[in-house]
Protein backbone atom coordinates (compact mmCIF):
# COMPACT_ATOMS: atom_id res chain seq x y z
CA UNK A 1 0.00 0.00 0.00
CA UNK A 2 1.29 3.44 -0.90
CA UNK A 3 1.58 5.60 2.23
CA UNK A 4 -0.13 8.98 2.33
CA UNK A 5 2.08 12.09 2.40
CA UNK A 6 0.63 15.22 3.98
CA UNK A 7 2.13 18.40 2.51
CA UNK A 8 1.48 21.51 4.60
CA UNK A 9 1.52 24.92 2.89
CA UNK A 10 0.95 28.15 4.88
CA UNK A 11 -0.42 30.90 2.63
CA UNK A 12 -0.33 34.62 3.29
CA UNK A 13 -0.70 37.10 0.43
CA UNK A 14 1.33 35.15 -2.13
CA UNK A 15 -1.11 35.40 -5.04
CA UNK A 16 1.68 36.37 -7.44
CA UNK A 17 3.42 33.02 -6.94
CA UNK A 18 0.65 30.69 -5.81
CA UNK A 19 -0.30 29.27 -9.22
CA UNK A 20 3.23 27.99 -9.78
CA UNK A 21 3.38 26.55 -6.26
CA UNK A 22 0.05 24.71 -6.44
CA UNK A 23 0.65 23.43 -9.97
CA UNK A 24 4.02 21.98 -8.97
CA UNK A 25 2.32 20.12 -6.10
CA UNK A 26 -0.50 18.72 -8.20
CA UNK A 27 1.97 17.51 -10.84
CA UNK A 28 3.89 15.30 -8.40
CA UNK A 29 4.60 11.88 -9.87
CA UNK A 30 3.76 10.40 -6.47
CA UNK A 31 0.03 10.95 -6.31
CA UNK A 32 -1.04 9.67 -2.87
CA UNK A 33 -0.74 13.08 -1.24
CA UNK A 34 -2.99 15.46 0.61
CA UNK A 35 -2.23 19.14 0.20
CA UNK A 36 -3.15 21.15 3.28
CA UNK A 37 -3.26 24.88 2.55
CA UNK A 38 -3.59 27.08 5.63
CA UNK A 39 -4.86 30.46 4.47
CA UNK A 40 -3.43 32.69 7.18
CA UNK A 41 -5.74 35.66 6.79
CA UNK A 42 -4.67 36.62 3.27
CA UNK A 43 -6.04 39.94 2.04
CA UNK A 44 -5.18 39.43 -1.64
CA UNK A 45 -6.76 36.85 -3.98
CA UNK A 46 -4.81 33.87 -2.56
CA UNK A 47 -7.98 32.20 -1.23
CA UNK A 48 -9.72 32.56 -4.61
CA UNK A 49 -6.75 30.84 -6.31
CA UNK A 50 -6.80 27.99 -3.79
CA UNK A 51 -10.53 27.45 -4.20
CA UNK A 52 -10.12 27.38 -7.98
CA UNK A 53 -7.70 24.47 -7.69
CA UNK A 54 -9.69 22.72 -4.97
CA UNK A 55 -12.66 22.52 -7.32
CA UNK A 56 -10.48 20.51 -9.70
CA UNK A 57 -8.55 18.27 -7.27
CA UNK A 58 -10.06 16.58 -4.22
CA UNK A 59 -6.63 16.11 -2.62
CA UNK A 60 -6.60 19.81 -1.68
CA UNK A 61 -7.77 20.83 1.80
CA UNK A 62 -8.14 24.51 2.72
CA UNK A 63 -8.18 25.83 6.27
CA UNK A 64 -8.97 29.51 6.83
CA UNK A 65 -7.80 31.35 9.92
CA UNK A 66 -7.10 34.88 11.05
CA UNK A 67 -3.54 36.00 10.50
CA UNK A 68 -1.55 34.26 13.24
CA UNK A 69 1.78 33.65 11.55
CA UNK A 70 3.51 30.78 9.78
CA UNK A 71 4.17 28.77 12.96
CA UNK A 72 0.52 28.64 14.01
CA UNK A 73 -0.45 27.83 10.42
CA UNK A 74 1.98 24.91 10.22
CA UNK A 75 0.91 23.63 13.64
CA UNK A 76 -2.70 23.66 12.47
CA UNK A 77 -1.65 21.63 9.45
CA UNK A 78 0.15 19.12 11.67
CA UNK A 79 -2.94 18.84 13.86
CA UNK A 80 -5.21 17.76 11.00
CA UNK A 81 -2.69 15.88 8.81
CA UNK A 82 -3.66 12.29 8.05
CA UNK A 83 -0.47 11.18 6.35
CA UNK A 84 2.23 8.73 7.41
CA UNK A 85 4.80 11.29 6.33
CA UNK A 86 4.89 15.08 6.50
CA UNK A 87 6.34 17.57 4.06
CA UNK A 88 6.37 21.36 4.09
CA UNK A 89 6.27 23.82 1.19
CA UNK A 90 6.20 27.62 1.30
CA UNK A 91 3.55 29.17 -0.93
CA UNK A 92 5.95 31.39 -2.89
CA UNK A 93 8.21 28.44 -3.75
CA UNK A 94 7.79 25.50 -6.12
CA UNK A 95 9.02 21.91 -6.35
CA UNK A 96 10.21 19.52 -9.04
CA UNK A 97 7.69 16.88 -10.08
CA UNK A 98 9.70 13.93 -8.68
CA UNK A 99 10.47 15.49 -5.27
CA UNK A 100 8.13 13.49 -3.05
CA UNK A 101 8.62 10.31 -5.05
CA UNK A 102 12.38 10.58 -4.43
CA UNK A 103 12.03 11.51 -0.75
CA UNK A 104 9.56 8.69 -0.10
CA UNK A 105 11.74 6.11 -1.82
CA UNK A 106 14.72 7.20 0.29
CA UNK A 107 12.96 7.19 3.69
CA UNK A 108 11.48 3.73 3.01
CA UNK A 109 14.54 2.19 1.37
CA UNK A 110 16.75 3.17 4.31
CA UNK A 111 14.01 2.57 6.92
CA UNK A 112 14.87 5.81 8.70
CA UNK A 113 13.13 8.62 10.56
CA UNK A 114 14.05 11.48 8.25
CA UNK A 115 15.35 12.22 4.77
CA UNK A 116 17.26 15.40 3.97
CA UNK A 117 17.87 16.67 0.43
CA UNK A 118 19.39 19.75 -1.20
CA UNK A 119 17.69 23.05 -1.96
CA UNK A 120 18.01 25.48 -4.84
CA UNK A 121 17.67 29.20 -4.08
CA UNK A 122 16.70 31.76 -6.73
CA UNK A 123 17.58 35.41 -6.12
CA UNK A 124 17.99 38.19 -8.69
CA UNK A 125 18.09 35.63 -11.52
CA UNK A 126 20.93 33.75 -9.80
CA UNK A 127 20.77 30.13 -8.67
CA UNK A 128 22.56 28.70 -5.64
CA UNK A 129 22.31 25.05 -4.58
CA UNK A 130 22.62 24.32 -0.87
CA UNK A 131 24.15 20.90 -0.28
CA UNK A 132 25.91 19.29 2.67
CA UNK A 133 29.09 17.37 3.41
CA UNK A 134 27.24 14.63 5.27
CA UNK A 135 27.73 10.99 4.30
CA UNK A 136 25.38 10.29 1.40
CA UNK A 137 22.97 7.43 0.64
CA UNK A 138 23.51 5.47 3.82
CA UNK A 139 21.57 5.20 7.06
CA UNK A 140 23.07 7.63 9.57
CA UNK A 141 22.55 6.41 13.14
CA UNK A 142 21.90 8.31 16.36
CA UNK A 143 25.63 8.62 17.13
CA UNK A 144 26.25 10.32 13.78
CA UNK A 145 23.29 12.61 14.39
CA UNK A 146 24.53 13.59 17.86
CA UNK A 147 28.19 13.92 16.85
CA UNK A 148 27.79 15.58 13.44
CA UNK A 149 24.28 16.78 12.63
CA UNK A 150 23.31 18.49 15.90
CA UNK A 151 26.60 20.43 16.13
CA UNK A 152 26.11 21.47 12.50
CA UNK A 153 22.61 22.69 13.32
CA UNK A 154 23.97 24.74 16.20
CA UNK A 155 26.73 26.34 14.16
CA UNK A 156 25.04 26.92 10.78
CA UNK A 157 21.80 28.22 9.31
CA UNK A 158 21.57 26.34 6.01
CA UNK A 159 20.05 23.10 7.38
CA UNK A 160 17.15 24.69 9.21
CA UNK A 161 14.54 24.78 6.45
CA UNK A 162 11.77 22.22 6.90
CA UNK A 163 11.04 22.22 3.18
CA UNK A 164 13.87 20.02 1.88
CA UNK A 165 12.97 17.15 4.21
CA UNK A 166 10.43 14.40 4.74
CA UNK A 167 9.37 13.74 8.34
CA UNK A 168 7.56 10.88 10.07
CA UNK A 169 4.18 12.06 11.33
CA UNK A 170 4.21 9.58 14.22
CA UNK A 171 7.42 11.03 15.69
CA UNK A 172 6.10 14.58 15.46
CA UNK A 173 2.75 13.74 17.07
CA UNK A 174 3.98 11.32 19.74
CA UNK A 175 6.55 13.85 20.94
CA UNK A 176 4.31 16.91 20.44
CA UNK A 177 6.92 18.68 18.31
CA UNK A 178 5.61 22.05 17.15
CA UNK A 179 6.74 25.27 15.57
CA UNK A 180 7.17 27.96 18.26
CA UNK A 181 4.39 30.53 17.67
CA UNK A 182 6.23 33.43 19.32
CA UNK A 183 9.33 33.19 17.14
CA UNK A 184 8.28 34.41 13.72
CA UNK A 185 11.68 34.19 12.01
CA UNK A 186 13.37 31.17 13.59
CA UNK A 187 10.46 28.75 13.73
CA UNK A 188 12.20 26.17 11.51
CA UNK A 189 15.31 26.26 13.68
CA UNK A 190 13.70 25.06 16.88
CA UNK A 191 11.34 22.59 15.19
CA UNK A 192 14.23 20.90 13.39
CA UNK A 193 16.49 20.83 16.44
CA UNK A 194 13.77 19.14 18.50
CA UNK A 195 13.09 16.60 15.74
CA UNK A 196 16.77 15.82 15.06
CA UNK A 197 17.32 15.43 18.79
CA UNK A 198 14.74 12.64 19.06
CA UNK A 199 15.25 10.56 15.93
CA UNK A 200 17.37 7.44 15.77
CA UNK A 201 18.27 7.51 12.08
CA UNK A 202 18.27 9.62 8.93
CA UNK A 203 19.55 9.64 5.37
CA UNK A 204 21.00 12.45 3.28
CA UNK A 205 20.51 12.24 -0.49
CA UNK A 206 22.35 14.42 -3.00
CA UNK A 207 19.19 15.40 -4.83
CA UNK A 208 17.78 18.88 -5.49
CA UNK A 209 14.01 19.09 -5.90
CA UNK A 210 12.96 22.10 -3.83
CA UNK A 211 13.11 25.59 -5.33
CA UNK A 212 13.27 28.43 -2.82
CA UNK A 213 12.38 31.89 -4.08
CA UNK A 214 14.19 34.72 -2.31
CA UNK A 215 11.97 37.66 -3.21
CA UNK A 216 13.99 40.86 -3.53
CA UNK A 217 13.24 43.21 -0.67
CA UNK A 218 11.35 40.58 1.32
CA UNK A 219 13.86 40.57 4.16
CA UNK A 220 13.76 44.34 4.46
CA UNK A 221 9.98 44.30 4.19
CA UNK A 222 9.77 41.86 7.09
CA UNK A 223 11.85 44.24 9.20
CA UNK A 224 8.72 46.35 9.34
CA UNK A 225 6.66 43.38 10.61
CA UNK A 226 9.22 41.54 12.75
CA UNK A 227 12.23 42.54 14.78
CA UNK A 228 14.95 40.33 13.33
CA UNK A 229 17.35 41.16 16.11
CA UNK A 230 14.90 40.10 18.83
CA UNK A 231 14.51 36.77 17.07
CA UNK A 232 18.23 36.04 16.99
CA UNK A 233 18.33 37.04 20.66
CA UNK A 234 15.64 34.42 21.31
CA UNK A 235 17.76 31.79 19.55
CA UNK A 236 20.83 32.97 21.47
CA UNK A 237 18.96 32.52 24.77
CA UNK A 238 17.50 29.12 23.80
CA UNK A 239 18.46 26.50 26.39
CA UNK A 240 20.13 23.93 24.16
CA UNK A 241 21.61 21.94 27.02
CA UNK A 242 18.34 21.05 28.74
CA UNK A 243 16.36 20.71 25.50
CA UNK A 244 18.81 18.55 23.56
CA UNK A 245 21.12 15.60 24.16
CA UNK A 246 24.33 17.41 23.35
CA UNK A 247 27.81 16.03 23.94
CA UNK A 248 29.26 19.44 24.73
CA UNK A 249 30.22 21.24 27.90
CA UNK A 250 28.41 24.42 28.89
CA UNK A 251 31.47 26.42 27.82
CA UNK A 252 31.56 24.81 24.37
CA UNK A 253 27.85 25.39 23.83
CA UNK A 254 28.17 29.03 24.86
CA UNK A 255 31.02 29.58 22.42
CA UNK A 256 29.08 27.99 19.55
CA UNK A 257 26.02 30.09 20.40
CA UNK A 258 28.07 33.27 20.67
CA UNK A 259 29.85 32.77 17.33
CA UNK A 260 26.57 32.08 15.55
CA UNK A 261 24.94 35.04 17.29
CA UNK A 262 27.65 37.42 16.10
CA UNK A 263 27.57 36.03 12.55
CA UNK A 264 23.84 36.70 12.53
CA UNK A 265 24.45 40.25 13.72
CA UNK A 266 26.79 40.79 10.77
CA UNK A 267 24.11 39.41 8.42
CA UNK A 268 21.54 41.75 9.92
CA UNK A 269 23.78 44.74 9.25
CA UNK A 270 23.41 43.91 5.53
CA UNK A 271 19.65 43.39 5.79
CA UNK A 272 19.02 46.60 7.69
CA UNK A 273 21.22 48.69 5.40
CA UNK A 274 19.63 47.32 2.24
CA UNK A 275 17.83 50.29 0.60
CA UNK A 276 14.07 50.01 0.94
CA UNK A 277 11.01 52.12 0.28
CA UNK A 278 9.46 50.50 3.36
CA UNK A 279 11.93 52.06 5.79
CA UNK A 280 13.67 55.40 5.71
CA UNK A 281 17.44 55.58 5.94
CA UNK A 282 17.06 57.14 9.38
CA UNK A 283 15.00 54.17 10.59
CA UNK A 284 17.44 51.61 9.18
CA UNK A 285 20.41 53.49 10.64
CA UNK A 286 18.67 53.54 14.02
CA UNK A 287 18.05 49.76 13.88
CA UNK A 288 21.75 49.06 13.31
CA UNK A 289 22.91 51.56 15.93
CA UNK A 290 20.66 50.04 18.57
CA UNK A 291 21.71 46.50 17.64
CA UNK A 292 25.49 47.01 17.77
CA UNK A 293 25.19 48.91 21.05
CA UNK A 294 23.30 46.03 22.63
CA UNK A 295 25.06 44.87 25.81
CA UNK A 296 25.08 41.19 24.80
CA UNK A 297 26.47 41.96 21.35
CA UNK A 298 29.31 43.97 22.83
CA UNK A 299 29.97 41.40 25.55
CA UNK A 300 30.24 38.51 23.08
CA UNK A 301 32.33 40.38 20.54
CA UNK A 302 34.82 41.29 23.28
CA UNK A 303 35.09 37.64 24.32
CA UNK A 304 35.18 36.06 20.84
CA UNK A 305 36.61 38.79 18.61
CA UNK A 306 39.95 37.05 18.13
CA UNK A 307 38.43 33.73 17.06
CA UNK A 308 35.98 35.34 14.66
CA UNK A 309 38.56 37.77 13.29
CA UNK A 310 41.16 35.17 12.32
CA UNK A 311 38.56 33.08 10.44
CA UNK A 312 37.06 35.99 8.50
CA UNK A 313 37.84 37.58 5.14
CA UNK A 314 39.09 41.14 4.86
CA UNK A 315 35.63 42.65 4.42
CA UNK A 316 34.10 40.80 7.39
CA UNK A 317 37.09 41.74 9.52
CA UNK A 318 36.30 45.39 8.85
CA UNK A 319 32.66 44.83 9.82
CA UNK A 320 33.67 43.08 13.04
CA UNK A 321 36.02 45.92 13.96
CA UNK A 322 33.27 48.44 13.27
CA UNK A 323 30.80 46.54 15.46
CA UNK A 324 33.35 46.35 18.26
CA UNK A 325 33.93 50.11 17.89
CA UNK A 326 30.14 50.70 17.81
CA UNK A 327 30.59 52.62 14.56
CA UNK A 328 27.29 52.60 12.69
CA UNK A 329 28.69 55.02 10.11
CA UNK A 330 31.57 52.69 9.17
CA UNK A 331 29.13 49.79 8.79
CA UNK A 332 26.91 51.85 6.51
CA UNK A 333 29.83 52.94 4.32
CA UNK A 334 31.18 49.37 4.13
CA UNK A 335 27.86 47.82 3.10
CA UNK A 336 27.24 50.62 0.58
CA UNK A 337 30.66 49.96 -0.98
CA UNK A 338 29.97 46.21 -1.04
CA UNK A 339 26.68 46.70 -2.91
CA UNK A 340 28.39 49.00 -5.42
CA UNK A 341 31.24 46.54 -5.96
CA UNK A 342 28.91 43.58 -6.49
CA UNK A 343 26.51 45.25 -8.90
Q: Given this model, what pLDDT does residue 221 score?
A: 45
Encode the chain (343 residues) as per-residue pLDDT tens digits. 689 999 999 999 999 999 999 999 999 999 999 999 999 999 999 999 999 999 999 999 999 999 998 999 999 999 999 999 999 999 999 999 999 999 999 999 999 999 999 999 987 778 999 999 999 999 999 999 988 998 888 878 889 899 999 999 999 999 999 998 765 556 677 889 889 999 999 999 999 999 999 865 444 445 555 677 887 888 888 877 776 666 677 888 888 888 889 988 998 898 888 876 577 889 889 989 999 999 999 999 999 999 888 888 899 999 999 999 999 999 999 998 888 777 6
Whether pTM exceeds 0.75: yes
Cα 114 to Cα 106: distance, rounded to the nearest angstrom: 9
Q: Given this model, what pLDDT does residue 147 score?
A: 87
N residues, the chain: 343
Cα 90 to Cα 10: distance, rounded to the nearest angstrom: 6
Cα 11 to Cα 206: distance, rounded to the nearest angstrom: 29
Q: Given this model, what pLDDT does residue 222 score?
A: 57
Write the DSSP string, 48-62: HHHHHHHTT-TTEEE
Contact present, 17 and 213 (Cβ < 8 Å): yes
Q: Given this model, what pLDDT does residue 220 score?
A: 40
Q: How far apart are the first and last CA of the chain?
A: 53
Q: Given this model, what pLDDT does residue 238 score?
A: 80
Q: Given this model, what pLDDT does residue 311 score?
A: 82
Q: Given this model, what pLDDT does residue 226 score?
A: 60
φ and ψ at residue 186, rounded to 5 degrees: -125, 25
Cα 42 to Cα 123: distance, rounded to the nearest angstrom: 24
Q: Given this model, what pLDDT does residue 2 score?
A: 87
Contact present, 40 and 70 (Cβ < 8 Å): yes
Q: Given this model, what pLDDT does residue 181 score?
A: 79
Nearest CA among 185, 107, 198 for reference residue 150: 198
Q: Given this model, what pLDDT does residue 280 score?
A: 84
111: helix, coil or strand? coil
Q: Strands 60-65 and 33-40, how do they pair?
A: parallel
| Radius of gyration, alpha carbons of the chain | 21
φ and ψ at residue 66, rounded to 5 degrees: -65, 155
Amino acid sequence: MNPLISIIVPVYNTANYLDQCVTSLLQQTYSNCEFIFINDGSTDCSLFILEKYKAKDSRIRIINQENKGVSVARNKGLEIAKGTYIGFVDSDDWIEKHLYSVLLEAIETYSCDLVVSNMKTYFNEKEVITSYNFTKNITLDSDYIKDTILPYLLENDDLFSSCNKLFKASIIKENNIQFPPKNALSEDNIFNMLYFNIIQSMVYIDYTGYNYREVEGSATRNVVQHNYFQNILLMYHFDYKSSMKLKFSEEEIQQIKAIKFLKNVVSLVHIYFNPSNKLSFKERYSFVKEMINNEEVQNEIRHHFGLLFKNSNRYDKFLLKSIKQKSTLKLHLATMYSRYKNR
